Amino acid sequence: MQYIILDTETDFDGWRTAARTLVLGHVQPTDVTWTVQGGEADLFAPPAPSPILEVNEGTFSVSGKFVDLAKSAILHRDPERFAILYRLLWRLRDNHDLIEVATDSDVGQVTAMARAVHRDEHKMHAFVRFREIGRERSAHYVAWFEPEHHIVELAAPFFAKRFADMPWSILTPDLCAHWDGHALSFTPGVSKSEAPGEDRLEETWRSYYASIFNPARLKVKAMQTEMPKKYWRNLPEASIIKPLIEDAERMTGAMIANAATDPHKPQRRPEAPMIRRPATNDLDALREEAAHCRACPLYKDATQTVFGEGPDNATIMLVGEQPGDKEDLAGHPFVGPAGQMLDRALAEAGVNREKVYVTNAVKHFKFVPRGKIRLHQKPATPEIKACRQWYEREVSAIQPELIVAMGATAAQSVFGKITPVGKTRGRLIDLPDGRKALVTVHPSYLLRLPDPEAKALEYQRFVEDLKIAAAMQRKASRAA
């Protein structure tokens, strides 16, 4: 009997090396026991693995199809998978076409395992929910997930791409994946007690789910197949699924009664009244009040109001256009690609980002859905005007010395009228209330420039503009 001990549950290279040597050494599948270092079956293995056979001659090859299937199937949780794969490999030596025989029991088992692994990978992509640890610039996002198979390494690159600009960790009982904004790393699994509990992002997920829930399209069975109940315990939105289903009939009735709906328009959430509170300039109270803003229709499709952030005594206030897709989900301004570009330029210009208040002219994400993507739409003048009250009240609360308007929408809000960027950029302009304004381009404009040379040049101009802000910030901190 040959005892093979693999390094980890997902050690495909170790399995391949051992399997190849065993096949060339003519070792029958029934004469091999496969275990994983430290795994349960390892308890019954001999203290040392069998020495790998010395095989100096002979070659054989297998199809790419088998290799692809084996790479996936090896991530299945069935402890027999290594042996099944070896048995199939052994049989493929003399019959290359066997891999095409779907009715063969080994081929069928391996194919089913590979499929189950990919299904689990897709479920992980769909059902990981991050919770925020820390706030704002020191925020870290942590999720707890219980995969059915050993898929963490397989699924992690998806999250690195999707959430490239936020540091996150996905904790699982098998393995934990971490992203620091640059590289993925993995550490051993942990228990659920180490995962964070409720946070304010829960509410965001719930309102996001409620906003995309279409009662007229409700098919409970199909929904439960897509979102099996076993995942519910880790989904913040799970608590509202039952009430939404129960309310679906009434909501559908109301939609029909309201009639004349355009089927091509996204489903709207029912109108909720705007909560009016006594006017205040306290930033936290303002933020809370803005969370219920209904001054224009944009709140209906956006996930949440994305209010400004930063110290309430900031000398510099940066104004962007509106939150993008990432900001809408995260609830913070400038956390997406434009935010990364902005951070880099601020650092290069010598602006202390921690001391800057960052906000947007429009506080809800405006978009049109295109399949699964939400395409950014430029805010229209009525939306900019409706949202200006929040900008004005942020200015009153913070009393900044300098307001930097990034792009045309921000300039329109800051000056209260359409203001061309090209004619005004790069110099201090007096505002009627005695503050200074500085107009520059929006970082998204730089991201969109296709020509690398133009991009580099425009980026430098952007940094030069921000240096004006840096000088004012330095002067203010010397005076303080």
Residues that bind ligand URA (CB under 6 A): 320-324, 327, 333-334, 336, 338-339, 360, 444
Q: Is 4 helix (H, G, I), strand (E, B) or coil?
A: strand
Residue 178 token pair:
């971490």
- Identify the sign of the CA torsion 469, 475, 479, 480: positive
Distance, in Å, from the CA atom of 334 to the CA atom of 407, rounded to the nearest integer, reads 14
Give φ, ψ of 8 to 5 degrees: -140, 175
Alpha helical stretches, state H, 10-104: 12-24, 64-73, 81-92
Query: Which residue, 86 or 462, is less far from ligand URA as judged by CB?
Result: 462
Query: Which residue, 15 or 334, is less far from ligand URA as judged by CB?
Result: 334
Query: Which residue, 99 or 329, is less far from ligand URA as judged by CB?
Result: 329
Query: Which residue, 305 or 322, is less far from ligand URA as judged by CB?
Result: 322
Query: Which residue, 14 or 339, is less far from ligand URA as judged by CB?
Result: 339
Eight-class DSSP state of 317: E
- What residue number has its CB nearest to ligand URA? 320
Query: Which residue, 106 or 321, is less far from ligand URA as judged by CB?
Result: 321
Least distance in Å: CB of 343 to ligand URA?
12
Least distance in Å: CB of 330 to ligand URA?
10
* Residue 363 CB neighbours (<10 A): 30
Identity of the amino acid at 231: Y
Q: Is 168 helix (H, G, I), strand (E, B) or coil?
A: strand
Query: Which residue, 113 or 446, is less far from ligand URA as judged by CB?
Result: 446
Q: Which residue has the tokens 């540091």?
A: 167
Least distance in Å: CB of 146 to ligand URA?
33
Closest CA to 20 of 75, 74, 90, 69: 90
Query: Which residue, 91 or 376, is less far from ligand URA as judged by CB?
Result: 376
Least distance in Å: CB of 111 to ligand URA?
44
Strand ordering across the sheet containing 168-171: 131-133, 140-144, 168-171, 175-179, 184-188
Half-sphere exposure of 295 (CA within 13 A, CB side): 18
CB-based burial label for 466 (10 Å; 0-12, 13-18, 19+): buried
Least distance in Å: CB of 339 to ligand URA?
6
Least distance in Å: CB of 40 to ligand URA?
49
Query: Which residue, 87 or 363, is less far from ligand URA as judged by CB?
Result: 363
Host H or E run for residue 106: helix 105-127
Identity of the amino acid at 466: L
Least distance in Å: CB of 114 to ligand URA?
40
Query: Which residue, 14 or 407, is less far from ligand URA as judged by CB?
Result: 407
With a CB cutoff of 8 Å and minimum separation 6, the contacts of 22 are: 2, 4, 32, 53, 86
Query: Which residue, 251 or 338, is less far from ligand URA as judged by CB?
Result: 338
Pairing state between β 184-188 and 175-179: antiparallel
Least distance in Å: CB of 133 to ligand URA?
21
Closest CA to 150 of 7, 292, 287: 7
Least distance in Å: CB of 329 to ligand URA?
12
**What is the chain's alpha carbon radius of gyration, rounded to the nearest angstrom?**
29
Host H or E run for residue 325: helix 325-330
Distance, in Å, from the CA atom of 21 to the CA atom of 404, rounded to the nearest integer, reads 67
